[in-house]
């Protein structure tokens, strides 16, 4: 069996090594981890005394006055 060697390099042109003619399908979506019917959602309850509301909470979220441009 005799193999002919050609000078230089070339890209393989075989159909086996070529790109597929049809693109593969996209990956499937994973199922949702938890929804409204989830057991965690059923067991969850609101606090009996309500949520914690500190008296100075409004001071944190006050709107600062606009600054005048110095230029």
> Is the distance from CB of 34 to CB of 40 less than 8 angstroms?
yes
Give the integer Cα–Cα distance in Å for 42 and 33.
15
> Is the distance from CB of 41 to CB of 34 less than 8 angstroms?
yes
Question: What pLDDT score does 41 carry?
Answer: 56
Q: What is the pLDDT of residues 9-62, one digit of tens each?
A: 877 666 666 666 788 899 998 877 666 556 655 666 777 777 777 777 777 777
Give the integer Cα–Cα distance in Å for 60 and 44.
29
């Amino acid at each position: 069996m005799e193999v002919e060697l050609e000078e230089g390099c070339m890209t393989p042109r075989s159909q086996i090594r070529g790109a597929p003619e049809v693109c593969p399908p996209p990956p499937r979506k994973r199922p949702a981890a938890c929804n409204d019917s989830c057991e965690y959602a059923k067991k969850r309850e609101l606090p009996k005394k309500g949520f914690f509301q500190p008296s100075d909470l409004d001071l944190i979220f006050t709107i600062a006055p606009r600054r005048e441009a110095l230029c």
